[in-house]
Amino acid sequence: MTDYGAFATDPLFGLPLQELWFGLVFFILGMFLFLDGFDFGVGAIFATRDDDEERETLLAAIGPFWDGNEVWLVVFGGALFAAFPAVYANLFSRHYLLMFAILGALILRGLAPEMYEQRHDEAWQTWWGRAFVVGSVSAPFFLGVFAAHWLLGVESLLSLPGVVVGLAVVALTVVAGVGFLAMKTRGSLQRDVADYGPRAMAAYLALVVVTLGYLVAVRPDLGVLAPVPLALVAVSLAAAAGYLLALREGRYTLAFGTVPVLVFAFVALVATLMFPLADPATGLTVADAIVSVLPLNIMSVASALLLPLVFTYFGILYSTFSGPIETGESYS
Amino acid sequence: MLDPVIASRLQFALTTIVHIIFPVMSMGLAPFLIYFTWKDIRTDDPVYEQLRRFWTKIFAVSFVVGTVTGIVLEFEFGTNFAAFSTAAGELFGGPLATEGMMAFMLEATFLGVFVFGREKVSDALYMVSAVAVGLGTWLSAVWILVANSWMQTPRGYELARESGQLVVSLVDPIAAYANPRFPWMFVHMQNAAVLSVALFMAGVAAYHVWQRGISADDDREGARFWRKTLKIALVVLLVTAPFQAIHGDAYGRHVYETQPQKFAAMEAVWETDSYVPEYIFAIPTSLDGITDPRAKELFGIGIPGGASWLASGGDPQAEITGLNEFDTEAPPVAIVFWSFRLMVAAGFWFILLAFWAAYRWWTDELYDDDLLHKAFVGSSLLGIFAVEVGWIVTEVGRQPWVIQGVLRTSEGVSPGLTGFEATLTLAGFAVVYTGLLALYTYVIRRIIREGPPSVDETAAGSEAASPAGVTGDD
């Protein structure tokens, strides 16, 4: 047997790897929510367009990106499995039907644009258009329910806080979708889309406030009023103000730039309120659930090598398709 | 309501059986697409752009369906097999996470460039994107098979019980991940994928040649494209089909050495014996015997000593340990026995088909033999069928173990899962995946019927058509 020495017994460079991995898992979830979030938002906005050309433009805007964006969810599942297998197993099996609701929504969302482009008769496109909208709205909704139930340790399929957070995540994806499309489109479509921004943001902020109020009143144990959560709320408010101002001034790239701040503040809030627990329903802490030192060291080295490459791939992809969608550019 | 263990196993079987079709298509198409892209960039021959564009369409649809069905599998370890995931996460989670970061990310990002970006990037970056997509599909297989092969021939772990729960901890990652089964699986699977796609391409091309009566000097639109497709597929078939059989034979001996219970199930050997015949065909005389293919009162054709000969690599006297010898119950023998025979029969048919077509090519009759064309059309999905039955041998054959000799499948199922939930999702998948397969078939058929873009639509073709060299595409 190979002797792995200190690599098998001591965390790499003495780093606090358990906490870093807890953070990394949520960072990956945040990447998914940010990147696929704007795809979901585009799907929701799709419902408001009935002009064929505008619909084609919306699909073309996310065409090259959505598949890569969705892989962040695969990596989230993988990272959670690799670092906190007990959390992955408990969480996913406890939310059995919810997980399949998420998967069903993602199947619909992934399949619909591909199908939409296959035939150009009206009935076919009407139905696949609807499927695209339903998938794009229900996926973030169920993901929001999942995040709330994870944090609050709720075991039922639906709960009031779950629904509120689910709607908040849907609103957040619309905020992201507006930012993305305002940047990628031109003309009347661009103006129409940008108009949805303030309403989506108002809905998001209202739902977050309701959630926080609920947590302060019902779950004081989570410590919402501690400095870090309050700072994250302040960051969210500042980013929201920036988003609205930038939209009003027509600085759409800047508006879209505030979206990751909003998304990561949201995800960081969930993670901060949860820590040091990793699965509140079972009371498992990060320290309980983490894998042993050797596999953790291996995965840390692998991630440190691979994640920079992943960011390079995304850099190439996004720079290839930067700039506005040209007229007549279609999905496939 | 079904028992949650049965429902979970059926659901995993169903979702994997459907999912594997799409990775086979994308992994098998990958080397072809890299070749077409290379030739498209390096030559002025419009047929390579036609080939690239036509097969990329099929690749893109397969990839999308593969993505959405693949996420399901990754989540099912947690939803349905939580006890397995908790016990073995330390060994099993790492390869899955690495697959996501190393392979899937590479594939999914460069696919955007490859499918949508021909006009937007340089030839060099376009070539890079083709290679990256192909490499991504194959690296995906590496990590998935590292995880799967570890379950077949587990190494590098230690067993402990923490508060009554079994924990498999990683002590030697090199032994665990470079386990003895991995190279066998990887080579067999990747060659099978390329072989399956070669058969599919040959079937599609033969269909057009046969239906349109395309001859060797036909210059109608698309004629050259289909002749070229048929020939390229045939060359690949000639290499991969015989190789699969030779490799499969050696792989069988490895299974005999490392998973004797599976091997016994493949041959339906109940009592330990030497000079075991290889049954090519076996029929029980009554329906009760259907689960036991070599039950006493049967009609069968066996080659004396054949199974022993195959197991040992040449010794007809070699001893095969019977299923009754093992402490655990046997896997469902009939499924393993018949799946194995169907796979092998398909494999031999592919070799025959390849040689038949090669002979016709040699006698300059490749486009004239309609019986051959019909045989190709009928065989276009048989490669995928052989992959399915092959995986059934692998996965049903290792039962009752989910990790060979360590953890039983029944002990791996989520403890809190109810029969109602599991039956509900199983029924849901049965409906959704039937629809998914129907849609996929429908879309692929449309793409095939439509055929490749015309020569005038290609960059080289439009340049040739307009003397000024103005491209018609832009």
- pLDDT, tens only, A212-239: 999 999 999 998 999 999 999 999 999 9
What average pLDDT does this structure show over B233-244? 97
Q: What's the ipTM?
A: 0.93
B145: part of which helix (H) or strand (E)? helix B123-152
Taking an 8 Å cut-off on Cβ atoms, the answer to whether B108 and A86 are in contact is no
Pick from B202, B219, B125: which is nearest to B374 by CA? B202
Question: pLDDT of B192-224, one tens digit each?
Answer: 999 999 999 999 999 999 999 998 888 898 999
Side chain identity at residue B226, one-letter code: W
- Report pLDDT for A5: 83
Question: pLDDT of B249-279, one tens digit each?
Answer: 999 999 999 999 999 999 888 888 888 888 8
Contacts of A135 by beta carbon, 8 Å cutoff, 6+ apart: A43, A105, A106, A107, A108, A109, A110, A111, A112
Strand ranges for B128-225 from DSSP E: 157-162, 165-170
Please give the backbone phi and psi of residue B297, each rounded to the nearest 5 degrees, phi first.
-85, 80
Side chain identity at residue B182, one-letter code: F
What average pLDDT does this structure show over B37-62? 95
Does residue B166 sit in helix, strand or coil? strand
Decide which of B458 and A34 is more confident: A34
Residue of A nearest to B417 (CA): A93
Q: Which residue has the tokens 């892209």?
A: B37
Does residue B118 sit in helix, strand or coil? coil
- Report pLDDT for B276: 85
Distance, CA of A143 to CA of A37 (rounded, Å):
11
- Report pLDDT for A317: 93
B301 C-beta neighbours (distance < 10 Å), count: 11
Taking an 8 Å cut-off on Cβ atoms, the answer to whether A96 and B96 are in contact is no
Contacts of A261 by beta carbon, 8 Å cutoff, 6+ apart: A235, A236, A239, A242
Q: Compute the radius of gyration of chain A from its Cα atoms.
A: 21
Taking an 8 Å cut-off on Cβ atoms, the answer to whether B71 and A70 are in contact is yes
Query: A290: alpha, beta or left, given left = phi > 0 and alpha = psi -120 to 50?
Result: beta
Q: Is residue A227 part of a domain?
A: yes
pLDDT more than 90, % of chain B: 75
- Report pLDDT for B363: 94
- Report pLDDT for B470: 39
- Which stretches within A120-276 are classed as H helix? 122-152, 160-184, 187-218, 227-248, 252-274
Q: Is residue A126 part of a domain?
A: yes
What average pLDDT does this structure show over A87-95? 95
Q: Is residue A169 part of a domain?
A: yes
HSE-CB for B394 with a 13 A CA cutoff: 26
- Report pLDDT for B293: 62
- For chain B, the average pLDDT equals 90
Taking an 8 Å cut-off on Cβ atoms, the answer to whether A63 and B116 are in contact is yes
Chain A residue numbers with beta carbons less than 8 Å from the beta carbon of B112 are: 63-65, 67-68, 317, 320-321
What average pLDDT does this structure show over A41-47? 96
Taking an 8 Å cut-off on Cβ atoms, the answer to whether A321 and B428 are in contact is no
CA dihedral B44, B47, B52, B57 (to 10 degrees): 140
- Report pLDDT for B17: 97
pLDDT tier at B303 (50, 70, 90 boundaries)?
confident
Domain tally, chain A: 1
Interface of B with A in 443-462 (CB under 8 A): 443, 446
Q: Is residue A278 part of a domain?
A: yes
Burial of A65 from C-beta contacts in 10 A (0-12 / 13-18 / 19+): buried
pTM for the structure as a whole: 0.93
Pick from B138, B111, B137: which is nearest to B126 by CA? B111
Say if residues B17 and B60 touch (Cβ distance below 8 Å). Answer: no
Distance, CA of B388 to CA of B194 (rounded, Å):
14
pLDDT more than 70, % of chain A: 98
Q: Is residue A332 part of a domain?
A: no
Burial of B406 from C-beta contacts in 10 A (0-12 / 13-18 / 19+): middle
- Report pLDDT for B166: 85
Interface of A with B in 58-87 (CB under 8 A): 63-65, 67-68, 70-71, 73-75, 77-79, 81-83, 85-86
Instruction: Flag whether pLDDT at A48 surpasses 90.
Output: yes
pLDDT tier at B473 (50, 70, 90 boundaries)?
very low
- Report pLDDT for B290: 60
Contacts of A94 by beta carbon, 8 Å cutoff, 6+ apart: A155, A281, B416
- Report pLDDT for A328: 56
Instruction: Flag whether pLDDT at B465 surpasses 80.
Output: no
What average pLDDT does this structure show over B166-184? 92
Beta bridge partners of A13: none
Q: The domain containing residue A100 runs over which residues?
A: 15-313
- Report pLDDT for B302: 77
Distance, CA of B229 to CA of A63 (rounded, Å):
28
Distance, CA of B254 to CA of B246 (rounded, Å):
13
- Report pLDDT for B294: 59
